[in-house]
Amino acid sequence: FLAACGGGNEATNSNESKEQVGGDAEKSAGAVEAKIGVIAWMTGSGAGYGEAITNGINLALEEINAKGEVKIDLVVEDSAGKQEQALSAAQKLINSDNVTGLIGPTLSTEMNVVGPEADLAGVPTMGTSTTAQGIPEIGDYIFRDSIPESLAIPAAMQKAIDKYGVKKVAIMYGNDDVFTKSGFDTMKATAEEMGLEILTIETFQKGQSDYNAQLTKIKNLNPELILCSALYNEGAVIMDQARKMGLTVPFVGGNGFNSPEVIKIAGDAANGLIVATPWFGAKEDAKVQEFVKKYTEKFGKEPDQFAAQAYDGLYLFAEAIKNAGEADRDAVRDALAEIKDFEGILGVMSFDEVGDIVMDPTVLVIDGGQFKLFE
């Protein structure tokens, strides 16, 4: 029986003293301990999103635990970009691992099934990449630190239109995904509001490899700008095929395009893609540059928007856990809702009354194989 106590006589102490003796490092004495579950798309055609997300979270974890005010234990699950897998991961994390909170899942499509489940169970959940309309509105426990399409796309469209004097656009979108559909709704409504002529609306599905029929139709109509709502894998192939058939006009893309994977897949064909994002790695800001340096040293590549949002996402949880002073789900949910002017690498962050982040986007363009400020 004594052996089961792990050899330390402190271990036989009561629960109240456990906090002090639980961590042998001096730093974790008195630290609030909490378990956070992460659901990310880590295998398959969108694995680039999940890689960036988990890297960002792991870097934040190291820093937070080293500071010692809060001690976070992570449990990471792969959703493979699938609703059912995301849901069973959430059920495991909520019911078996007993996590205090969730980060993810990656896709809005996945959050549409995980969100209601987490909300019902009273588990505070932070979407760090879910940008479709209506995500924080799923419930009181659902937050996000990624700006919605409804804010990002109009900002990108306005800049593109001002710069190129655009009057005629074509729209292309994936009609089998919550996020790509939501981006399309915003593109269409914004084009109408701006008085642009929509020459055609073309659709595609996840995993499609040939877009020549849609692109030929678009080319024959001579648009000055193409609005495209896609995840990076489909989006990059669309741009590649468009350029190959001589469609050289600029593209405005939604959040899914905001990944270096687009450049990796499409190469020079990605030039001329305009996106809006809360993250710009070349920003002259000490906090941003320190993050870029540390991340690049640790993972051998530069962080993207998904890494940055996930990094801040875990910091927001750590802040809420610290302020709550305990790992209780309800207390952490309330503390998250109360966060005001938190200084992250994305900027100064607060949540609005539904749990959406309040932030201004920056408009970027891919030029010479790199994301640059679009001016």
Three-point CA angle 170, 175, 179, nearest 5°: 95
Q: Nearest distance from residue 148's CB to ligand VAL, in Å?
A: 9
20 contacts 85 by C-beta, under 8 angstroms: no
For ligand VAL, the closer CB: 100 or 130 = 130
Quick note: the x/- pattern for ligand VAL over 162-181, rule CB under 6 A, is -----------------x--
Q: Nearest distance from residue 81's CB to ligand VAL, in Å?
A: 9
Region binding ligand VAL by CB under 6 A among candidate stretches 3-11, 124-132, 238-246, 270-278: 124-132
For ligand VAL, the closer CB: 113 or 331 = 113
Among 255, 286, 254, 249, residue whose Cα is nearest residue 269? 249
DSSP 158: H
Q: Which of 112, 131, 233, 305 lies at the binding interface for ligand VAL (CB under 6 A)? A: 131
Q: If DSSP codes are grouped into helix, strand and coil, which group holds residue 81?
A: coil
User: Residue 150 interacts with ligand VAL (CB under 6 A)?
Assistant: no
* Other beta carbons within 10 Å of 103: 30
User: Residue 107 interacts with ligand VAL (CB under 6 A)?
Assistant: yes
User: Residue 52 interacts with ligand VAL (CB under 6 A)?
Assistant: no
User: Residue 129 interacts with ligand VAL (CB under 6 A)?
Assistant: yes
Q: Nearest distance from residue 132's CB to ligand VAL, in Å?
A: 5
Q: What tokens appear for 201 in the block?
A: 């609306």
Quick note: the x/- pattern for ligand VAL over 248-287, rule CB under 6 A, is -------xx-------------------------------
Separation CA 161–CA 293 (nearest Å): 35
User: Residue 214 interacts with ligand VAL (CB under 6 A)?
Assistant: no
User: Residue 228 interacts with ligand VAL (CB under 6 A)?
Assistant: no
Region binding ligand VAL by CB under 6 A among candidate stretches 79-87, 127-135, 153-161, 318-326: 127-135
Q: Which of 31, 48, 49, 225 lies at the binding interface for ligand VAL (CB under 6 A)? A: 49
Among 229, 280, 281, 277, residue whose Cα is nearest residue 252? 229
Q: What tokens appear for 212 in the block?
A: 């020549």
> Which residue has its beta carbon closest to ligand VAL?
179
Separation CA 5–CA 263 (nearest Å): 54
Quick note: the x/- pattern for ligand VAL over 336-365, rule CB under 6 A, is ------------------------------
Separation CA 91–CA 240 (nearest Å): 39
129 contacts 50 by C-beta, under 8 angstroms: no
* Residue 157 CB contacts under 8 Å (≥ 6 apart), including other chains: 187, 190, 191, 194, 227, 252
User: Residue 231 interacts with ligand VAL (CB under 6 A)?
Assistant: yes
Separation CA 310–CA 316 (nearest Å): 10
For ligand VAL, the closer CB: 100 or 106 = 106
For ligand VAL, the closer CB: 265 or 332 = 265
Site residues for ligand VAL, 178-197, by CB under 6 A, read: 179
Q: Which of 54, 65, 128, 130 lies at the binding interface for ligand VAL (CB under 6 A)? A: 130
Strands 370-373 and 362-367: antiparallel
For ligand VAL, the closer CB: 214 or 305 = 305
Separation CA 35–CA 321 (nearest Å): 10
Separation CA 73–CA 34 (nearest Å): 6
C-alpha distances (whole Å) from 87 to each of 39, 44, 47, 114 are 9, 17, 18, 5
Residues that bind ligand VAL (CB under 6 A): 49, 106-108, 129-132, 179, 231, 255-256
